RNA sequence: GGCCCCUUCGUCUAGCGGUUAGGAUCCAUGGUUUUCAUCCAUGUCACAGGAGUUCGAGUCUCCUAGGGGUCACCA
């Protein structure tokens, strides 16, 4: 069975790039009816926070990516790691190193001065003497000293790293706490992960982890290293480039399905297809098709996708979503008229809410430029005439409202713009917005008349 | 700096030795719309550079350049 996992360290919010790797892992598991596990990498107790962990879980919930089984916390598994460390010590595959931090720093400096690669020199590898006083040793694993460490990366192909590039790295600190590369390998193996999909900043950790797998006789999983997401300039994505926290997208009015659709197409594709429902992603995704190259983050496409998903959302769904944007709409025929008049005008829920407010709220002010342009000449007379005819005809459908407008146009021998513009500004306070016929059908005669009279009062 | 990875329109990408190098987005223009948006149509725009292999190279090989990653008792 396919088992994948996402393993964030709880040091901050869930990053957009992290969400994409999580999505790839989730899809790989779902595609094969496998399992997607979540593991919190909190071995560095000083840097972890409960809030960060909750924020990550919240983001997963928002996008609807559920994990299988309980969340695994590494901080609760220290006994387990210790057991394996002891085993390696017993088997002489790992050893205690009494080098102090100061000595290590000196060694590094010497290597740097000689322009050599900085690496531990293995001086305690076969140490049998009396250990120096007053030093709590770290534990280092014996890495191969010659040859190549080779593995097949599902994205990048065969990767060969010279053994000399990997030193006897620390697997347990002086205080006994295990380190990252050790626990990752142990957990991935113990959790039976078959595919490890992660950012390619981990590519260089892979040979180290393979050392651990081999020392412990664990089965090595398939690795997939996904290239980074950069900003539009191709540089590392930072907060200056806009939203990097997944939850910011919710606040900005994006739908999770739009975000996911956007992310799945960053580094993966299926022919010319652009729109993928969650079901389609699951049935079509294969990690072997992940691109090698990094991709740049560009908001235009996300916006376009978001508009698409808003347009195609049901009224019920939009009503629910708009609650987060201070808009309480009841599920009624009127609401459904409002939504069909506005759905196609908002690229985000914020914009959609704004469009709806335009109709629902009595304008408290009139856009200066708009009123200057619209409320001039005979606008006042035309609006008055329209009001009279409106009361007389008492229309109820948008077609009927349109007929009233036509009648005014005909009688006054004017163009549609002569009535359309002032009417729009009177009703909405703005020169742009939904179709007038639709708006009027939503507002009803009384409300229309009230808004026109209010507008007429300020035209002088 | 050592090691490793990457390089097709501005951006996301298709391509897997023979294509007028395709799609999407953005942008521009036109149509639809009383406005704006939607929608529709059209257009501009790319194989980083150089050698080779081959009848033929975006596709294979090498070199160069550019970009990225990584070199912790952090994850």
A358 band by pLDDT with thresholds 50, 70 and 90: very high
Nucleic acid strand B: bases within 7 A of protein CB: 1-8, 10-14, 22-26, 33-39, 67-75
Is strand B in 7 Å reach of the CB of A421?
A: yes
A455 touches A421 (CB < 8 A): no
A68 touches A2 (CB < 8 A): no
Is strand B in 7 Å reach of the CB of A181?
A: yes
Q: Which one has a higher pLDDT value, A216 or A368?
A: A216
A247 band by pLDDT with thresholds 50, 70 and 90: very high
Is strand B in 7 Å reach of the CB of A400?
A: no
CA distance A204 to A119: 14
A442 band by pLDDT with thresholds 50, 70 and 90: very high
Which of A119-123, A136-140, A391-395, A456-460 is least confident?
A456-460
Q: Where are the beta strands (DSSP E) in A30-98?
A: 35-40, 72-73, 94-97
**Interface pTM, i.e. ipTM:** 0.95
Q: Tell me the pTM.
A: 0.95
Q: Which one has a higher pLDDT value, A242 or A255?
A: A255
A442 CA vs B13 C1’ separation (Å): 43
For position A31, what pLDDT does the model report?
97
Q: Which one has a higher pLDDT value, A17 or A234?
A: A17
A37 band by pLDDT with thresholds 50, 70 and 90: very high
**What are the pLDDT digits (tens) for A161-205?**
999 999 999 999 999 999 999 999 999 999 999 999 999 999 999
Q: What is the mean pLDDT of chain A?
A: 93
Q: Which one has a higher pLDDT value, A438 or A45?
A: A438
**What are the pLDDT digits (tens) for A112-143?**
888 778 889 999 999 998 999 889 999 999 99
Is strand B in 7 Å reach of the CB of A104?
A: yes
**What are the pLDDT digits (tens) for A280-307?**
999 999 999 999 999 999 999 999 999 9
A252 CA vs B47 C1’ separation (Å): 37
Structure tokens at A184: 């990752």
For position A460, what pLDDT does the model report?
67
**Segment A341-359 mean pLDDT:** 96
A67 band by pLDDT with thresholds 50, 70 and 90: very high
Q: Name the packing angle between helices A16-31 and A50-63 (round to 10°).
A: 50
Residue at minimum CA to C1' distance from nucleotide B12: A266
A329 touches A335 (CB < 8 A): yes
CA distance A20 to A24: 6
Is strand B in 7 Å reach of the CB of A304?
A: yes
10 Å Cβ neighbour count for A201? 12
User: Does residue A47 have a pLDDT over 80?
Assistant: no
Mark residues 115-154 of chain A whose C-beta is closer than 7 A to nucleic acid strand B: 115, 117-120, 138
Please state, in angstroms and as integers, the Cα–Cα distance from residue A96 to each residue in A180, A184, A313, following that order: 18, 21, 61
User: Does residue A46 have a pLDDT over 80?
Assistant: no
User: Does residue A240 have a pLDDT over 90?
Assistant: no
A205 CA vs B13 C1’ separation (Å): 29
């Amino acid at each position: 069975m396919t088992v994948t996992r996402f393993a964030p360290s709880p040091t901050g919010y869930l990053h957009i790039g992290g969400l994409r790797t999580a999505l790839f892992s989730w899809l790989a598991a779902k595609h094969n009816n496998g399992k997607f596990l979540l593991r919190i990498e909190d071995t560095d107790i000083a840097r972890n926070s409960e809030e960060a962990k909750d924020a990550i879980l919240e983001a997963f919930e928002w996008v609807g990516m559920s994990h299988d089984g309980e969340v695994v916390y590494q901080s609760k598994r220290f006994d387990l790691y210790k057991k394996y460390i002891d085993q390696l010590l017993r088997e002489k595959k790992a050893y205690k190193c009494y080098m102090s931090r100061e000595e290590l720093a000196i060694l590094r400096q010497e290597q740097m001065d000689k322009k050599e690669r900085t690496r531990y020199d293995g001086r305690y590898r076969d140490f049998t003497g009396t250990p120096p006083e007053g030093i709590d040793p770290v534990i280092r694993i014996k890495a191969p000293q010659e040859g190549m460490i080779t593995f097949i990366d599902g994205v990048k192909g065969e990767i060969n790293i010279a053994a000399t590039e990997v030193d006897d790295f620390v697997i347990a600190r002086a205080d006994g706490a295990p380190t990252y590369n050790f626990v990752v390998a142990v957990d991935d193996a113990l959790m039976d992960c078959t595919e490890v999909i992660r950012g390619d900043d981990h590519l260089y950790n892979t040979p180290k982890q393979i050392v651990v797998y081999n020392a412990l006789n664990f089965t090595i999983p398939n690795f997939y290293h996904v290239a980074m997401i950069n900003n539009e300039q191709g540089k590392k994505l930072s907060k200056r480039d806009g939203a990097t926290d997944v939850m910011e997208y919710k606040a900005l009015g994006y739908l999770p399905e739009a975000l996911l659709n956007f992310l799945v197409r960053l580094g993966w594709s299926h022919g010319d297809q652009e729109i993928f429902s969650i079901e389609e992603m699951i049935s079509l995704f294969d990690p072997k098709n992940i691109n090698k190259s990094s991709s740049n983050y560009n908001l235009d496409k996300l916006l376009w996708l978001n508009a698409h998903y808003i347009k195609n959302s049901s009224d019920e769904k939009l009503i629910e979503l708009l609650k987060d944007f201070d808009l309480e709409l009841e599920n009624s025929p009127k609401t459904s008229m409002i939504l069909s008049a506005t759905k196609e005008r908002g690229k985000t829920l914020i914009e959609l809410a704004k469009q709806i407010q335009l109709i629902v709220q009595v304008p408290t002010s009139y856009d200066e430029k708009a009123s200057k342009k619209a409320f001039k000449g005979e606008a006042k007379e035309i609006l008055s005439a329209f009001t009279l005819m409106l009361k007389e005809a008492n229309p109820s459908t948008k077609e009927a409202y349109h007929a009233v407008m036509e009648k005014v146009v005909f009688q006054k021998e004017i163009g549609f713009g002569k009535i359309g513009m002032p009417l729009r500004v009177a009703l909405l306070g703005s020169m742009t917005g939904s179709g007038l016929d639709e708006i009027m059908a939503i507002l009803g005669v009384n409300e229309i008349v009230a808004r026109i009279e209010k507008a007429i009062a300020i035209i002088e």
